Amino acid sequence: MKKIRKISYCQALNEAMRQEMERDPNIFVYGLGVPDHKRVFTTTAGLVEKFGKERCFDTPLSEDTMTGFGLGAAISGMRPIHIHMRVDFLLLAVNQLANMVSNYRYATAGKLRVPLLIRAVVGRGRGQSFQHSKTMHSIFAHIPGLKVVLPTTPRDAKGLLIAAIRDENPVIFIEHRWLYFAVDEVPELPYTIPLEEANILRSGRDVTVVATSWMNVEALKAAQVLERKHKISVEVIDARIVAPFNDKLIVHSVNKTGHCIVADNDWLDCGFSAEVAARVSEKCFSQLKSPVQRIGFAPTPCPCTKSLENCFYPNAIDIIKTIESKLNLEEADLSNEDFYGFENKFNGPF
């Protein structure tokens, strides 16, 4: 019997970059701390040793300028990978992203390509508070010309990252820090997963939950509990490519279940969850048995202290309660259930 190889999400990211850098000498990786002893939570481990300082380097603390730098290299035949330890820091580069990177191909009437990849990490927990915890995918997805990807599983982390590296367009690749611990089967040879479609993480008949990033873990947990407690079958769809957003799988699922919940790893107002709700109401109106409901961050900055932070983030319990209320079910006793948190990390498998 063939042995199944399991690696972590974090190792999958590292493996994808290493294999791609071996394949294409035009790829280089840069950003603050990329070659330091911590190696961006080990995702860049071994790269500077293997590919040298020319292709793996630290930068001045100049996020916006170094994004423009990546753009200039990308239009000149290189394939830059720019890494940010937090999405919050990437916000310093919104000028380059919204004014330059996103429209450079359009502004040359297609004469130049922009194969620029930006990796950014979503932080959470242990008091990281309001400047180390943002996801912000809807901000980037709002701008035409940027692709926005949020991988959830280790398999996707590798396959989507390789696809993003090979893409001829700017891609923003948003990785949740808590997913770094997830371990699952990941093929060893390089492979791509097209940046085109959502992913059904769990099939179900009764309710559709569309989730992004970490919220998929919460949705899967909720689905397991609901199955056990109520014999309710929940379909969990990982939206994963939020721009350009292809709603085909989601529309198909909601037309089947008649119920839709969006669990977004972000604030709700004007966010990606509103986009999903709008698409579902446009395309599934006659099949909907209840209004689309949205679950996301509290509409506050992310607080530091644990007691408030726990209320800021939505979790599996919120999803369970929302579904119970949607389907007029009695509230299940959850006192013996084990949920994920900073201390109780999710380790996979999916």
Partner 1 sequence: MKNQDFLIKILDNNKILNLEFYKKLFLIRRSEEKIIELYPENEMRMPMHMSMGGEAIAVGVCHALGIKGQVFGSYRSHAIYLAKTQDTNNFFAEIYGKTTSSLKGKCGSMHLCAPDFGFMGASAIVASIIPVACGTAFANKRKNNGKIVSVFFGDGAVDEGNFWESLNVASLMKLPILFVCEDNALAVHTPRHQRQGYDSIVSIVSKFNCNVLEESTTDTEVIYRKTCQAIELIRTTQMPCFLYLRYYRYLEHVGTKEDFDAGYRSKEEFEKWHKKDPVNLQRKKLLRFGIEEEQIRKLEVEIEGRIENSIRLAQKAPFTEISELHRDVFYEENKKD
User: Quick check: 173 and 149 in contact, CB under 8 A?
Assistant: yes
The residue from 8, 14, 44, 96 that contacts partner 1 (CB under 8 A) is 96
Sequence-distant (≥ 6) Cβ neighbours of residue 59 within 8 angstroms: 30, 31, 32, 34, 66
Backbone angles phi, psi at 15, to 5 degrees: -65, -40
Separation CA 97–CA 89 (nearest Å): 13
42 vs 59, which CB is nearer to partner 1? Answer: 59
Structure tokens at 38: 């911590």
The residue from 145, 151, 204, 271 that contacts partner 1 (CB under 8 A) is 145
* Cβ neighbours around 187 below 10 Å, total: 12
Confirm or reject binding of residue 335 to partner 1 (CB under 8 A): no
The residue from 45, 78, 288, 298 that contacts partner 1 (CB under 8 A) is 78
94 vs 329, which CB is nearer to partner 1? Answer: 94
Buried b (16+ CB within 10 A) or exposed e, 82-116: bbbbbbbbbbbbbebbbebbbebbeeeeeeebbbb
CB of 29 to partner 1, least distance (A): 13
Mask: binding to partner 1, 35-54, rule CB under 8 A, as x and -?
Answer: -------------------x
**Catalytic residue positions, numbered:** 132
CB of 31 to partner 1, least distance (A): 13
Residue with tokens 């996707």: 156
| Amino acid, res. 332 | A
The residue from 68, 258, 301, 303 that contacts partner 1 (CB under 8 A) is 68
Structure tokens at 24: 């294409």
From 43-51, 68-76, 126-134, 217-225, span contacting partner 1 (CB under 8 A): 68-76
Structure tokens at 231: 């014999």
**Range 223-282, binding partner 1 (CB under 8 A):** 244
The residue from 9, 89, 104, 214 that contacts partner 1 (CB under 8 A) is 104
Mask: binding to partner 1, 158-197, rule CB under 8 A, as x and -?
Answer: ----------xx----------------------------
What is the distance between the terminal CA atoms of the chain, rounded to a whole angstrom? Answer: 22
Sheet holding 293-295, edge to edge: 199-202, 234-238, 207-211, 260-263, 293-295
CB of 189 to partner 1, least distance (A): 22
CB of 26 to partner 1, least distance (A): 8
Confirm or reject binding of residue 22 to partner 1 (CB under 8 A): no
Give contact residues for partner 1 (rule: CB under 8 A).
Answer: 28, 54, 59-60, 62, 64-78, 80, 95-96, 99-100, 104-114, 144-145, 147, 168-169, 244
